[in-house]
Amino acid sequence: MTIDYREKIWCEKNKIHLDFNYVMQEFIGPEQGLFEEDFKSLDTKINHAIEQIKNKHAEKKLEWMNLPYNQESVVEEILNHAEYVQKNFESVVIFGIGGSALGPIALQQAINHPLYNELSKEKRKYPKFYVADNIDPERLVYLLDVVDIEKTLFIIISKSGSTSETMSQFMIIKNLLDEKNKELAKKNIVCITDETKGNLIKIAKREGYKTFYVPNGVGGRFSELCPVGLLPAVICGIDIKKLLAGAEFMDKNFSDEPKNNIATKFALINYLAMQKKQKNICVMMPYADSLKYIADWFAQIWSESLGKAVDNDGNLINIGQTPVKSLGVTDQHSQVQLYNEGPFDKIIVFLEVEKYRKNIFVPKTFEDIDGISFLGGISHEDLIHAELKATEFALAKSKHMNMKIILPEINEFVIGELFFALELATALMGEFLNINAFDQPGVEEGKNATYAIFNKPGYENKKHELENMLVKRQDYFV
């Protein structure tokens, strides 16, 4: 029996929602809370932002918005290739960083077994999954302790083909494969990169590697729904058609009710929280281990898109909410003390799961022990729901702004909705703030300084600047 992911009742049942009661003044008071008039006063701004998104989309500047629609043949190619990979490889390793890593990690953690790699081959069914998104020198060496490179597929992801971290990992692994057998690299390397530009496609073509493309106009942090996210997902048994159907459903929600959907509301509330109530921190706190890395993925898209020095009119604004990753209930024993009693400088966004995939009941083991006997007979699902409710309540009571994204359950469709909603929200927030949400000029300085340190041609001036930096003082050192 196949489910039709476009069937209306099924979609509505799997629709994600936003509960923003506890950002409103009725619940957290007029000093910290928002008023209905605050929303109304932004009406022109909202209309303009929606208009801008539509226009930019029409001008082919937001190509990530097409990903739910235009990948039919790519998806087929990915499904075919994944089948080959599943049959021929024991492990998959992603070499990629930033968006090329965070999306695949978040999706894998959301859908698959949390101890996937430790499952027996029979239970796991698909290849083991690793992401090497750092150049910590220990990391790659230790990874090679557990994977047999001859039976490992390496997915090299770099849109530009110039990412130093990824390219250096690629060079190391290419060499190791060549040392084993000159034919191996051709079989064990797949590249996901720009179709025409950059060094990675150049090398891939010359060496005869299998390639998939990051479509034109899809930047790293908006790339999860293109082959960057799709290929590794399928290899590990994740249903990408269902994922894309969720994204499509969210996109249609936005088209149908541009002002009254989760993405627009999410952006709007954060905008008001920042501009009216100085909430310069946005905490994302999923109440589910499986959604922990969604907060990491969100931290990237939110901070890299919206942390900007200059607005579209050239004004110096140095703006940006700082995203904070948290996890319920775990961080109730870590961060929540601060959230409850600390400064009124943050908005907390909970992710709630209505129905978990598994549940376990606490037995009535110690009925004679006062203080814990009340736990007997309740389930962990009951407990986690109660703790979220209690935390929301406590935060609202202490007048700390919080809202909640509600996921009916965790499946690919729902995660597709969530990814797409937060991508849309990011784009809308960029419009509200009048900034470019799609560039990252602030990472250039560090990149260029790295190039200069290694004497890359063309960076002589930067080298000179580094050499002429003020010398550090020994008395500013203990």
Which of 52, 71, 261, 426 is close enough to bind its own copies by CB under 8 A?
A: 261
Indicate whether 473 belongs to the interface with its own copies (CB under 8 A): yes
Amino acid in the structure at residue 334: S
Minimum CB separation of residue 84 from its own copies in Å reads 25
Q: Per CB under 8 A, which of residues 9..48 are in contact with its own copies?
A: 17-21, 24, 26-27
Catalytic residue at 364? no
Q: Looking only at residues 215 through 254 of this chain, which bind its own copies when binding is defined by CB under 8 A?
A: 220
Q: Does 277 bind its own copies (CB under 8 A)?
A: no
Question: For its own copies, which residue of 306, 418, 424, 433 counts as binding (CB under 8 A)?
Answer: 306
Q: Which is nearer to its own copies, 92 or 143 (CB)?
A: 143
For residues 302, 305, 309, 312, the Cα torsion angle rounded to the nearest 10 degrees is -130
State residue 350 phi and psi, 5-degree precision.
-85, 150
Alpha-carbon 294 to chain mean position = 5
The CA distance from 218 to 195, in Å, is 12
Minimum distance of its own copies from residue 106's CB (angstroms)? 12
**Which listed residue (113, 447, 456, 463) is catalytic?**
447
Q: Least distance in Å: CB of 423 to its own copies?
A: 15
- Write out the binding residues for its own copies, residues 117-136 only, by CB under 8 A: 117-119, 123, 133-136
400 is catalytic: no
Indicate if 333 belongs to the active site: yes
476 lines the binding site for its own copies (CB under 8 A): yes
Q: Which of 4, 31, 122, 138 binds its own copies (CB under 8 A)?
A: 138
> What are the b/e assignments for 395-428, b being 16+ CB within 10 Å?
bbeebbbbbbbebbebbbbbbbbbbbbbbbbbbb
Binding mask 439-468 for its own copies (x = CB under 8 A): -xxxx-xxxxxxxxxxxxx--------x--
d(CA 13, CA 413): 11
CA neighbor of 83 nearest in space, from 229, 236, 241, 186: 236
Residue 304 makes contact with its own copies by CB under 8 A? yes
- Please, are residues 250 and 420 in contact by the beta-carbon 8 Å criterion? yes
Compare residues 78 and 272 and give the one whose CB is closer to its own copies. 272
Binding to its own copies (CB under 8 A) within 44-83 occurs at: none
Restricting to residues 366-385, which ones interact with its own copies according to CB under 8 A?
366, 369-372, 374-376, 378-384
Residue 255 binds to its own copies (criterion: CB under 8 A):
no
Q: How far is CA 266 from the centre of its chain?
A: 16
What is the C-alpha separation between 46 and 259, in angstroms, rounded? Answer: 7
Question: Of 3-11, 53-61, 235-243, 302-310, which segment contacts its own copies by CB under 8 A?
Answer: 302-310
Q: Give the Cβ contact number of residue 7 at 10 Å.
A: 10
Query: Whose Cβ is closer to its own copies: residue 66's or residue 330's?
Result: 330
Count of alpha carbons within 13 Å of 94, Cβ hemisphere only? 27
Specify the stretch interacting with its own copies by CB under 8 A; choose among 3-11, 73-81, 82-90, 359-367: 359-367
What residues numbered 385-414 form the site for its own copies, per CB under 8 A?
Answer: 386-387, 389-391, 393-394, 397-398
Give the single-character DSSP code of 51: H
Q: Nearest 5 degrees, angle CA 355-CA 361-CA 366? A: 150
What residues between 329 and 358 interact with its own copies by CB under 8 A?
Answer: 329-330, 332-346, 356-358
Amino acid at the residue 114: P
Q: Within 163-192, which residues bind its own copies (CB under 8 A)? A: 164-165, 167-168, 171-172, 174-175
Q: Which of 8, 333, 358, 472 is catalytic?
A: 333
2 three-class SS: coil
**Residue 137 and residue 171 in contact, taking contact as beta carbons nearer than 8 Å:** no
CB 124 within 8 A of CB 66: no
Nearest to 216 by CA among 226, 204, 206, 230: 226
Q: Which two tokens stand for residue 352?
A: 């709630």
Work out whether 280 is an interface residue with its own copies (CB under 8 A): yes
Catalytic residues: 304, 333, 447
